[in-house]
Structure 1
Amino acid sequence: MIKVSIAGGTGYTAGELLRILLNHPRVKIESVISSSSVGMAVTDVHRDLLGETGITFSDQTGHPDVIFLCLGHGLSRAFLNENNVPAACKVIDLGNDFRNDPVFAERDFVFGLCEFNREKIRTASSVANPGCFSTSIMLALLPLAVLNKLTEDVHVHAITGSTGAGKKPADTTHFSYRSGNISVYKPFTHQHLEEIELTLKAAGSKNLPPIQLVPLRGDFTRGIFASVYTRWDAPMPETEVINYYKDYYKASPFVFVSDKPISLKEVVNTNKCLLHIGFHNGYIHITSVLDNLLKGASGQAVQNMNLMFGLDEAMGLKLKGSAF
């Protein structure tokens, strides 16, 4: 059994990790760390786990084989500085501390996009989990980047659920603001742009054009719907492009290309990313949908753990979606 500790145990991503890992056949929860909730039952915070676990929050890491860092952005480095995490313990960071700056002391973090870095992740001791926006956008564009077919500006409009902003309430996550509402934030400057650009360049697009990302806040709790388009002048028939995408992702247990238009509800509560490809007036248009807390965060983190420990990549992640 893999002994797991979770730091930052009261947040949304930690709650999703617990829901997955309590049912993972090869995992034992060693500790759930929260300095503000020591001694409280985990089920006092994550109420849906009542009857599934008797774990209480701790301020000790224990002796895990792997620790998941579900901390606020910028706090993972501080946690590793302040806690004696042995070199033999693997680390998976769900924050943004190591995505673009991967070196920390003796650790060298591998970027944890499974569909791009699968073999490196298998031998990694430390992994930086990608962001939710970046996962949806990178999966939409990776096949084109590999062919070096991204030559003109890429335009992205992507809408996210309120859980993407974290558990701590804010004016723009409050129900009375979000309900029946939609708004733009961080246009063209979102923090996920850097990891997207670094990954697509590493995939093959050495002269990557600008990616014009306009993120939007949605009036729903979970999921990301990304609409991605760019000029398409490549001499490849449309059916050949679609078949190429399907072939590119044939080894992935969670990324699928749909022949029909897709919607967000088809991926919520799953670890899947669905893609749909269309061609319009000289543009290629790719829609990409995923659950921001699962494939965009905790589900992908477990996928990384499975790879790091030599398990079936999909173990513990065959989750039931909600069709209605």
Structure 2
Amino acid sequence: MINIKKTAGIIGANGYTGSELVRLLAFHPNVTLSFLYSRSNSGTKISDLYPDLTTVCEMVLTDQPEEVDILFLCLPHKESQSWLAQNKINEETLIIDLGNDFRLNGNFENRNFIYGLSEINRKQLIGAKSIANPGCFATAIQLALFPLAQKKILNDVYTTGITGSTGAGQSLQATTHFTWRNDNISAYKTLKHQHVEEILQQLASFNKNEISLNFVPWRGDFARGIFTSSTVKTDLELSDIHQLFRDFYADEPFVKVSEKAIDLKQVVNTNRCVIHIEKSGNVAVIHSAIDNLLKGASGQAVQNMNLAMGWEENSGLNLKPIAF
């Protein structure tokens, strides 16, 4: 049987999430990359910017988009909407936005963007034409809280989370210099992170009572990955919480609930989320770990594409974690 591949284009292919999409789609059985768009690096081979793509993809970046079946928007936050307004896209084209333009308000012209966290929105994502990819911290934190939200027992949540330097994007900033980031950890956007509103909006669909999320994000001295710890009060026994999480994620291909302690290297270079739960008295802590560039961005975008197109959900995502 002949496999007729769908065409895909990436807007903002020169960034970290864009280059990760190139790496994933170059080996996807159902996709052919048609163009890689970049305003700042037009005329440059993607492998000259990212040597790890040598022999994987030698395409030249362009500032002229083409008509494709699937369009990924990997632009800085708040730029996707203006780009779409300036470029007419076929209404049959599947658009997946990896920015934050449509996560809270998914309406744009005649498109209604579906929030792309498959673990809660799988049915809505099947056949969708417009998808808003969740944020990286938002993904890790929500996956740690959804089973408790479904039981309507969430009230005050206290979360800390640490992220790698790639979470800040490719543009050089004072806090991404090697000399500053190496052997260093710092808090940032304390209690004011942009993902909090996104998280609360989704949790509200499960847990109608008011939830308070107190989130302290940290910058880590490593390149990629997110590790979060969410503290909640509950009278449920630890064994009951474990069962609750196992039942909730029983059919999820990329979420693993572990009774053993977890670490970041279990998920780096994968589309997985691993979760571990601890409890003392009436206080429970839910740890979750993801790769911020994969399950937190490009891998999740491919997962959403697979669902929207009716393909196997794990197509192109059978990735092994980095061990050493």
What TM bracket, shorter-length normalisation? over 0.9
Q: 1:175 aligns with which of 154, 173, 178?
A: 178
Deviation sequence 1:140-191 (CA, Å, 0-9, x none): 000111110103x100000000000000000011111100000000000100
**Contact 1:200–1:208 at 8 Å: present in 2 too?**
no
Q: Distance between the aligned counterparts of 2:128 and 2:210, measured in 1?
A: 27
Shift of 1:129: 0.2
Alignment of 1:187 with 2:201, yes or no, is: no
Q: Give the match for residue 247 of structure 2.
A: 247
Q: Give the match for residue 215 of structure 1.
A: 217
Deviation sequence 1:26-53 (CA, Å, 0-9, x none): 1100110001222211111121111122
Q: Which amino acid aligns with 2:160?
A: H
**Contact 2:256–2:275 at 8 Å: present in 1 too?**
yes
Q: Which amino acid aligns with 1:321?
A: P
Q: Distance between the aligned counterparts of 1:62 and 1:100, measured in 2?
A: 28
Deviation sequence 1:193-230 (CA, Å, 0-9, x none): 0110000001x211132100000000000000001111
Q: Distance between the aligned counterparts of 1:238 and 1:147, measured in 2?
A: 15
Deviation sequence 1:87-111 (CA, Å, 0-9, x none): 1111000000000011000000000
Q: 1:93 aligns with which of 75, 94, 97?
A: 97
Q: Give the match for residue 263 of structure 1.
A: 263
Q: Which amino acid aligns with 2:47?
A: T
Q: Which amino acid aligns with 1:167?
A: Q
Shift of 1:240: 2.0
Q: Distance between the aligned counterparts of 2:243 and 2:323, measured in 1?
A: 27
Q: 1:205 aligns with which of 204, 207, 225?
A: 207
Deviation sequence 1:92-140 (CA, Å, 0-9, x none): 0000000001100000000000101001011311000000000000000
Q: Secondary structure, in 3 states, of the residue corresponding to 1:190?
A: coil
Q: 2:27 aligns with which of 23, 28, 38?
A: 23
Q: Give the match for residue 83 of structure 2.
A: 79
Q: Give the match for residue 130 of structure 2.
A: 126
**Contact 2:22–2:57 at 8 Å: present in 1 too?**
no
Q: Distance between the aligned counterparts of 1:84 and 1:158, measured in 2?
A: 39
Q: Which amino acid aligns with 1:226?
A: T
Q: Give the match for residue 275 of structure 1.
A: 275
Alignment of 1:158 with 2:161, yes or no, is: yes
Q: Distance between the aligned counterparts of 2:7 and 2:166, measured in 1?
A: 27
Gaps of 5+ in 1: none
Deviation sequence 1:14-35 (CA, Å, 0-9, x none): 0110110001011100110001
Q: Give the match for residue 229 of structure 1.
A: 231
Q: Give the match for residue 292 of structure 1.
A: 292
Q: Give the match for residue 116 of structure 2.
A: 112
Q: Distance between the aligned counterparts of 2:210 and 2:238, measured in 1?
A: 22
**Contact 1:40–1:56 at 8 Å: present in 2 too?**
yes
Q: Give the match for residue 57 of structure 1.
A: 61
**Contact 1:275–1:288 at 8 Å: present in 2 too?**
yes
Shift of 1:244: 1.6
Q: Give the match for residue 38 of structure 2.
A: 34
Q: Distance between the aligned counterparts of 2:6 and 2:305, measured in 1?
A: 10
Q: Distance between the aligned counterparts of 1:60 and 1:89, measured in 2?
A: 17
Q: Secondary structure, in 3 states, of the residue corresponding to 1:245?
A: helix
**Contact 2:43–2:62 at 8 Å: present in 1 too?**
yes
Q: Secondary structure, in 3 states, of the residue corresponding to 1:138?
A: helix
Shift of 1:247: 1.4
TM-score by length of 1: 0.97
Q: Secondary structure, in 3 states, of the residue corresponding to 2:33?
A: strand
Alignment of 1:304 with 2:304, yes or no, is: yes
State the 4+ residue runs in structure 1 displaced beyond 4 angstroms.
Answer: none
Gaps of 5+ in 2: none
**Contact 1:187–1:213 at 8 Å: present in 2 too?**
yes
Shift of 1:291: 0.3
Q: Distance between the aligned counterparts of 1:208 and 1:113, measured in 2?
A: 22
Equivalent residues, number: 320
Q: Distance between the aligned counterparts of 2:310 and 2:159, measured in 1?
A: 35
Q: Which amino acid aligns with 1:29?
A: L
Q: Which amino acid aligns with 2:41?
A: S
Q: Distance between the aligned counterparts of 2:63 and 2:251, measured in 1?
A: 40
TM-score by length of 2: 0.97
